[in-house]
Structure 1
Amino acid sequence: MTASADQRAEHNPASEYPALWPIGTRWDDNDHYGHVNNVTYYSYFDTAVNGWLMATTGLDIRLLSAIGVVAETSCNYHRELSFPDRLQVGLSVEKLGTRSIVYKLALFRDAVGDELQLAATSRFVHVYVDAQTRRPVPIPTEIEAAARTLVIPS
């Protein structure tokens, strides 16, 4: 092996994410082709971000006066998934603004042993709006403090 191949073998992409959130695939996540349908990946990302926020802040974020709405998403697919795969979503924050959070996410499949295999990467943008008027507002203090722990140093 060359030096660069050695480095690639030792590189663990999951280590680039300050938090991992477990997700289980479900029987109905598979499509006609026998793998997890592409749209379901977005559900995994949404579930992980909101589940992590609720667990970390101890709040039911649905009841806050300001809520995060998804303004943008993207997904790059790297590996096929299928039920009954067990997954981990890697969470990090690419940019923490005053009214929005840009998440950098990754979806990993648990493999044999403790190895995680990269299945997809995503960009996920939450814009905070007033729960009643839907007008942009500052990120709630508790959400901002939690998100700060996921910020990737540039």
Structure 2
Amino acid sequence: MAHAPTRLAQLTQHLAPSSSSASTSTAPQRAASSSATTGDKASKPARPQPPRASDFRYFLPFQTRWADNDKYGHMNNVVYSLYFDSITNHYLIHQVPRPPSSPPPLGLIVSSSTSYASSLSYPSSIVAALAVSQLSARSVTWRIALFEGEYVPPLAAGEAKGMDGFSLDALREGAVGRRVRVKKDEKSGEEVRAAAWGEMVHVFVEEESRRPLKEMGEGLRGALERLLVKGEE
């Protein structure tokens, strides 16, 4: 019995993990955790840069409306989609030949996505931009963007008419409106990047049956091919 405390102490010491083994067992876990964190940071994709106007092929200026603003003082997200719809339909209405013998096909949206980089708001003007990234037998993938715009200042009296503005006399005659261009950065002088951009897929269907077309007509395909920027990022 006299040896019981000594024996108990020896047994306790034997069962307890040593400091060296504890550090050995935990060190790899810390290293693995550290490497995993490092790997996550390395593999995290960088956010893509908003596109520039040169990435697009068709442009349409808009004047924002007072009703476009929400209570936060900027354009509500749903309004961006309205402008996206407006430029695509503007192009289809004005640039696609319409056969008199048959109704034009309908384009139904099957998917869409939007990325936001900065806010737009009334009373700024905006410039909508359009391109085509993919074209199949019956569908088109639109690339769309909205750029903050600015009104081009009129030329001074007697100044030669140029691409950046109208003469004051022409403005007084009421023959032209105010030109809009993509806003230029005050420091760099370069055109600003898109405030919002995205993609929208239209599948073309027959008007009555709403069944997808077997293939687009030559007029529609030709008009869409003019906007094709396939292979560009």
Specify if TM > 0.5: yes
Counterpart of 1:149, as a letter, is: R
Corresponding residue for 1:145? 222
Tell me, yes or no, if structure 1 residue 42 matches structure 2 residue 81.
yes
Counterpart of 1:77, as a letter, is: Y
Corresponding residue for 2:5? none
After superposition, the C-alpha distances for 1:52-109 in whole angstroms (9 at most, x for unaligned) are: 221212549xx83421111111100111011111111111100011000001111101
What is the aligned counterpart of 1:89 among 128, 135, 142?
Answer: 128
Equivalent residue runs for 1:58-97 within 5 Å: 59=98, 64-97=103-136
Question: SS at the partner of 1:40?
Answer: helix
Q: TM-score, normalised by structure 1?
A: 0.83
Change (3 A) 1:100 1:106: same
Tell me, yes or no, if structure 1 residue 54 matches structure 2 residue 130.
no
Corresponding residue for 1:124? 200
After superposition, the C-alpha distances for 1:96-151 in whole angstroms (9 at most, x for unaligned) are: 11000001111101147653432101101110011111111022332211110000
Q: Is the 1:23–1:48 Cα contact (8 Å) retained in structure 2?
A: no
Structure 2, unpaired ranges of 5+: 1-50, 153-180, 185-190
Q: Distance in 1 between matches of 2:211 and 2:151?
A: 47
Change (3 A) 1:109 1:64: farther
Pairs aligned (count): 141
Corresponding residue for 1:110? 149
Q: Distance in 2 between matches of 1:77 and 1:106?
A: 10
Question: SS at the partner of 1:92?
Answer: strand
Q: TM-score, normalised by structure 2?
A: 0.56
**Structure label with greater radius of gyration:** 2
Question: SS at the partner of 2:195?
Answer: strand
Question: SS at the partner of 1:55?
Answer: helix
Identity %: 33
Q: Is the 2:97–2:219 Cα contact (8 Å) retained in structure 1?
A: no
Structure 1, unpaired ranges of 5+: 1-11
Change (3 A) 1:53 1:65: closer
Q: Distance in 1 between matches of 2:81 and 2:117?
A: 14
Counterpart of 1:141, as a letter, is: E
Q: Distance in 1 between matches of 2:127 and 2:121?
A: 14
Q: Is the 1:23–1:87 Cα contact (8 Å) retained in structure 2?
A: yes
Whose strand fraction is larger, Structure 1's or Structure 2's? 1
Q: Distance in 1 between matches of 2:98 and 2:148?
A: 28
Over aligned residue pairs, what C-alpha RMSD do you find?
2.0
Q: Is the 2:126–2:150 Cα contact (8 Å) retained in structure 1?
A: no
Change (3 A) 1:141 1:58: closer
